[in-house]
Amino acid sequence: LFKDASKSPLKKKDLRNFKGLDFFPVDSNFIITAFLTKTPDSPYLEMPSSDNSILYYREYGVIHFTLKEKKLSLTLYQNLEEQQDPQFKDYLFLPFTDLTSGEESYGGGRFMNLFESTITSENTIELNFNNTYNPYCAYNEEYSCPLTPRKNHLSIPIRAGIKDFKKSSPKK
C-alpha cells in the first residue's frame, strides 16, 4: 500500500526512496489481556484533530492491564461516523502515547484497532502492541488525524509496533 503511489499516504519525495516501514522487533511480552470497564451511553464529543477538523468520538470504556509490572489503563473510543456504517460498527479505536513517543515512535502517538466482537463474556480483550500503527498524518500533514488524548499516555516505553517514519532508518 505504501509503495503504490495511487494509495500511499507518503509525499512524492518520500515515496521515491521508500524501502519499507521500520518496526520494533516483535515481542510476545506486548501481547496481553486487558479487562474492560464499559462506559455505557457516553455522549459523542469532539476530539481534536491534526488539522482542526471536527471528529466525533465517544468513550467506549477503559481498559485495565499490567505491563512490565505496572498497572496501566487506557480509554477506548468509538467513532460516530463508523458507528453509522454497518461495515465498521464493530470497530474500536485505541490511540496512545508512551515514553518512546517523539523519539523512537511518532510523537503524536500510535493507534491500535480493536473490535467489539472480540470482547469476551468476562469483559476481557486482547491487546497486541506489535500491531500498532502510525496515523497517516505521521507521513503527510495533508491528512487529518485524531489527536491522542492526554489521559492515554503510558508512563512506560512501548517498544513494539511501528517506529517513527522520520527517525527510523529505511529497511535494506
From first to last of its 172 residues, the chain has per-residue pLDDT tens of 888 888 899 998 888 888 889 999 999 999 999 999 999 999 999 999 999 998 999 999 999 999 999 999 999 999 999 989 989 999 999 999 999 999 999 999 999 999 999 999 999 999 999 999 999 999 999 999 999 999 999 999 999 999 999 744 455 4
Predicted TM-score of the model (pTM): 0.91
Q: And the C-alpha cell for 12? A: 512524492
**Helix-strand-coil split of the chain, %, nearest 5:** 15, 35, 50
